[in-house]
Structure 1
Amino acid sequence: MRFTKPAWVAHRDTAAKSDSLKRLSIFSVHVHPDGSRIATGGLDAKIRIWSTKPILNTAAELSNKPPKALSTLTMHTGPVLTVRWAHSGRWLASGSDDEIVMIWDFDPSAKGKVWGSDEVNVEGWKPLKRLPGHESDVTDVAWSPGDHYLASVGLDSKVIIWDGYTHERIRKLDQHQGFVKGVCWDPAGEYLATQSDDRSVKIWRTSDWSIEAEVTKPFEDSPGSTFFRRLSWSPDGAHITASNATNNKGFVFIASVITRTSWASDISLVGHENTVEVASYNPHMFLRNPQAPVQTSNICSVVALGADDCSVSVWQTKSARPLIVAKEVFERQILDLSWSWDGLTLYAVSSDGTLAAFNFDPDELEGICPRSLQTEYLKKFGNHLPNIPSHYSHTAQTARLTPPPSPKSQPHPLPIQNGFGSATDGGERVNVLVAKRGGKKRVGLTTIPITKPVAPQIPLSQPAPPLSQSLSSISHSNGYAGPSLSGVSISKRAQQVQQQQQDRAPSVFDIDADTWASSDVRIDSLEEGGRKRRATNTIENDESKRPRTLGGDRKRVVVQAKELSIGVGPSMAQTAGSSLSLPIPTPMTKISTTVEGSDELFEVINPESEEGEPFSLESFTELKAIDAPEVSLMSGKHTQWLDYLPSPALAVCAASRFCAVALIDGQVLVYTLNGRRLMPSMDLGSPCSFIDGRGSILMIITSNGQLYSWLVFSALSVSAGDNLGIGMSKNNRRSSLPVSVSSILTSPNYTITSAKVQPTGASILTCSSGVIYSYDLSLCAFVKLTERWWSEGSDVWQARKRSLTNPTANRGVLSVAEGTIAGMADDEDIEETAEKIRPKYWTEAMTLAHLETRMHSARLLDSGAEFKQALSLYTRKLADEGYKSKAEELIRELLGPIYARGDTSWSSTVAGLSKRELLKDVLSTFVRSKTLTQLAVHWQDVLRRANNEE
């Protein structure tokens, strides 16, 4: 093994004039698939591309042929935290502190001097796509096998999935509760793994982007101070090696090996003296016995670990001891590792601003498996990602990138498709199918450059094999794998249309999904005459074999929404004995809403009387069946199911798992998304004023002020504030009576303007008085989540500014609530508030009280992120003002009893967060205070001893 640490690989300040200036940290490194280049990202907000030959070959380094520095990319405005080449080598993805993911493409015309610098680019790279979406630093990115997807993670606790070819956002995954600092793909394409400061590794299914498993045990005592938590998936798909794990209550630093399918974490790589920051598998499989066949029992892997103890270790999984341990090669922690595509060179970068290369001989890594055998082995997992048309690109290539030659001492690299080839003159057009929600597909005619084949060019008038091969692998922007069109022939008519479209803008037309469902329909059936008729007959003959939906064969009738004239009978009058009467929605001829999380439409059509006279509810049952109100679920132009109602509908809601309709006579009907009655018809005795549903919770407020909540799948009434009811078994749940909202309407002029329900079951009621309420079951009372009062003097009341500047931001429940209240105030109210004369300590008292209310509200709503944010602001305020008694009281509340007490009501968690983990952050803030340092140091020692004793 040869070790190299080139001094010329460095990121320095843009004003640097000599190598004597201090190096800046290098956060990431990645090797190009052809092995000729590496990309690094650093604190200088730049990406630098270096030639690998001068690193590995002394003669090349001395001759400067090829040049050492190839290119500098300068579009990021913050430190570059991650760089990753696509598997094709065609693109480079980067993530930065500026919250942006960038996609870079080779540009032969972009050579020359770097703007504002003396540096010269030997080769040019241009920004192809800028991907905004994260709300904080982007810490890691990863390309899926085949480059079909790009995953990015960040300090906003989000995982974003991008289409690898259109670069459009497909999905945002937000189930982590802490900074996400690592991401990797299953080489078989079945799963995605992410690692977060919430002390978990989550495994996501790529089929539906839901969680397959969550691993937490190895990370329960892991520190939260690491810059990254970079994990890696073994090339045989059998294991994930995760960084920042511990044994023995946090005293032994390890890397945890997670086994596929069982997701057990019984294997640990022990030896580093500080936190493991990054794990990286060699891209090749290895054979324990090179003479034996490729089978599971004969396969092993090589994995490298980089740690905060400034050392690098390399492990071969067939051995219990590391292959090498390189100590004292860096002065600070290792932040990233990357293996070359041939599996013989490992690159490491450190926060001390240096790069090191470990170059192995083939004999040292015995049993390396050829790439072809690895590809064949992975087929046992199945093909989980849609294939992509070959040579897919956004821009036609006008030049060929010639990579710097590889070192002579380096083995000849395996052949790869690097995507830098030139395009044919007047490239052919390919019809690419793009999935569209709602059961239809859209065909967009877009230009896809296709490189010249080795074989002689095929005339356009004949079926082109590359075209049919592209059509047999269909790419969809939302991850849907379309049907394979094998054996497709292109008719002369279709080719003529294709030729006419070459110089036009992309056109789009709809094709029914059912058309593609028949394997007997070929593309040449679009011709006129007998072929088209034969295809039509084939579809008609197959209709009897298809599953049916209730009402699915009828055409949708478009109904204009207008007010419905219905006479108010005795059943709609105010309930006897009730002094409260809330307004009800205006009856309409058409009422509709979209199903939560989809484009499906849940709608009701109420009939009108022929004479234009208002309907009377008492005489409504005498109407003919054809005039009965109709409820249906629509997907595009297709009816999924329908039902008829005994009374006109007043309001509807459509959650992710059920639909509900409230009738004007006080009845409520609940359906599954497939149209089954989920609960019996309920008569609430008064019309609905508000209706809302989330998850499996349905909430209704009637016009006489009764608030109802149900777990619809358990057919059980629960309290509006019963957060615990969701997690209990049905046998342990107790039915709850409705709650009256009269207590929050303290004036005849006040009314409820909005009513929503959270997935936890908590109700959110907005009152015209400028107060937002929720029901607290433990207090048996409505409590104020937030109110306009805090705008009178709280320093942290910024909702109005945020609501105006970023109205579509993905904000928490309380943040949205404060924005709602702020939007209710007019400019005159704001000016009057600013002009008022206040007492001396008004602002300090209002700010502290506001933050204390925020914490209580976040606890009630089980909003851990907002509780942590409010606690952080509250802690800083106490530290800045030096309020020792309040600070010590807060510390005692979070620490809890050190010794068990039988009568204590203290809980170790709040809003799903550990109180003692929160206390660590609180004490770290107090210790920096001018007046609370001694207090914080004392309680840090108490907390440490309490944790050790437990």
Structure 2
Amino acid sequence: MRLLKYPLELGEEKLKSITVVGNDLFLLSSRGHVIVWSVQDLVDTAIDKLSIKSLSRKLVLPIKFTNKMDDDEKQVIFLSGVEKTVIVASEHEVFRIDNWNGTATAEREQTSIVKYESPCTITDVKLDTTQKLLFVLYSNPNTIEMFDINDTKSPSVMKINLNKNVKPVTLITDPSSETFTILCSDRSIHVYQYNKSGNYKLINELSQYVHVEPLHYKISMPPQANFLPIINSIKGSSTGSAPSSSGAGNNNSSNSKTPTSASASTTVLLDRNNNYNIAATIVSPASNACKVLAFSPVMYEKKNTKKNTSIRYNLLATSGIKDGTILVWNTKRMKPLFNALQISGTPINDMVWSQDGLTLFAVSDDNVLFTFAFLPADLGEKVPYSEILDLRKLNKKLTPLPDKESDTIKSIVKQETSTTVPIKSEISSEPSDSAKNITSLVKRVGKNRTQIIKTLASNPSVKVTPGSGMEFKNPSYIVPKDLKRKPKEENNGTGIPAPTKKAKRDLEPMDFLDTGLLLPNVSFSRIRLASPKIRMSFKYVPNSNKNFTMNVKNGSGNEQKPTIITLNSKTTEQNSQLFQDFIPKFITMCTSGKFFWACCSDDGIIYVYSDNGQKLLPPMIIGVPISFLEANGDYLICVSSIGELYCWSIEEKKLKFPISSVFPILSPSLRYSDDILTRSENITLCTVTTKGIPLLTLSNGDGYIFDKDMESWLLVSDSWWAYGSQYWDTTNSSVLRNATSDMDSKEKEFWNSSDIESIISDVRQDSTSIVNYMERKTNDELNRKGRIKNLQRFARAVLMKEGFENMEEIVTLSHLENRLLVAMKLEEGDEFSKILLIYCVRLAKLGYTDRLDEMLCWLYNGGDFDISILNGKTRKELLRSVLLACADIRHVQRVTNSYASLIGLIKETI
């Protein structure tokens, strides 16, 4: 190893940060100057290939401040970069320098990404160099914000607001671009999962407490992204993860409330693949809390040719807050590989490794640039980058987050005739106890913000640009003043009125005579659904053809600045505009069918266009905000904020069935209340099939379809059947099928025919079935509410009780009968014929002769079975298949033989 110690003459400026971009080394001064050096020149000078007199910097990039406070103080602290882009940040503003090509004559452009006014202060800035995402931590308010540095118009794609008393101190990025970790002022550690669209999830709150002061820490992870370094770990945390090594880490008393300097100097490496337990401990020889921890971007390997073995390890460099000591550690030994004690009289502000992992650069507070040039023999052989990528794939898998790019979520369920059903999934938060019977379609995120939970089904068909995730407005709690009622008082036989439960939120009585701001039909309605908030702009991309994009840019909601709607088509590499429209309204949602496009305004007006922009219908005025707007095939469905359901045939330009309400299926009577409004179940899915049949599921797991002939809602999936039916969740939900393994064993005793087994398998594996999809939704709710344990106890205990011996077969038959009827209503011909066979064979095996006779009589249809069609097949064909499946079951042959004779089946076989 060779060391080059190069003092820089910067006057009153201080070197604050350092980074490597390609083959160039960037240094940042406190006065806002970026000094660029050649990495190779510094290495050549260190190993005496280049004289120190010939060493010179390549150029200096001055930063032009737009924040007056920064211009006065000029305290620039943060520096990072990737390719031809350099990111520089002060405590109040973040800059971007583009068009960097390493020459003094290059034309460069400086852009201010974001700035914050005092007393707001930036505490850390980190760059995800893989996805070009920039993380900014700032206080007052305590927030984490993420920016896309490639998006110059609206770079912010994520914002996380922390508790007002929890200040984010520093951030650790993940080389695999899956997680980031926040070290906070309250000694807590938060690990978040994120994606490029801006969606995020808190996946772990570590109790491995740390001691951090309001300083600017520099911490990085190893290239394989398996270890999370935690500096200044405090002994005695709740995880029991205090260092057990000898030395400074053991000088603490377990009863000490304030960490000593010895405990603060301990650094641990947490294994993300082992629930963030301690994998290794680093105890510095000096009682000096760590400030900088820099992992080398490569892995190293030493081979033992005699034993034909090899050891792989990482190298990391650490430095403390108080003195200028630099130590290099080998993760397999956890002892200093290299120790530069007090190499500087002032603290080391930052360190960085070269991209080849052979050189370590450091800058001190007295403006000295240190170059530690190692030889390959000093550190070991480098592991190829492709093998590092393979090691990343071995890390613990995280469930991918759905894109934040959805304002409505659809999934397409293919039917036998290649028809599709778009699914919109939204999960809601329940309102207060006093405001009951309000179906809210949102989940609260924080105190003042609501955001849809996006759950993708098999095929998402809606897409919105990053940062434009749809938010919903809470429904109104206002009721007519004259209708406000007080709860009844009861004496309970004591003469003292019973205490009434204090409502979390009182209803707001309102006199409607002198105001035009409230809609009486909303305030008098017993149903109030949340409606989307207005976004400045968003994009809609249908799943059926992703070459089309509908862009919506909301104006001011009036004629002065109307909303602009455009439909673009992408062919090869060119984009062409199909049509454009101007509307003096705010647009909230978009959807598309087979040959039309539709959008709705915030006050409940629906606009329908052809592919070329021609108005297919005059604007339809619903009169209240719209909560769901979906299309499929020729049909457009709408659910208003007061629960009214509309279903139009756009081709026929008429309503498919009269306006109905979702009120009957919301189960408002689940919870009794003397108030006007009662809380009910939440809508979790609303869509329509290509045949114009509305589908809807609730938060209790129940699923429904609307029957236009009966003009009522029909139950499709019920959680009760999950407790007793052998055929529940035929798409093979492992949890429920494990719980009903005893039922499955009984089932196998019945079927001897390989044909019947094949039919059952086909039904179970049919992932395109609408009924199967709705049963999966029911299972999701059972899992979410923890009701699976009840199901397991039910399977083990209830079915063994006296009087319930035949309960399993009765519930199973009830479930099969319902699936049969629903498949007929949905016109699912193939599924109907398969369920019919399973159901009839089941009746025959269990000895339900009368019920089997009734089914055969229904199929015989009084002799009209040759021409009569039932779900795409003739009744004779269906009847013949049932009779052949039941032919070997002796105790029903009297019934089957008579029908076989009537249709001539016996003659055919003879």
TM-score interval, smaller chain: 0.3 to 0.5
The structure number with the bigger radius of gyration is: 2
Q: What is the TM-score normalised by the length of structure 2?
A: 0.44
Q: What is the TM-score normalised by the length of structure 1?
A: 0.42
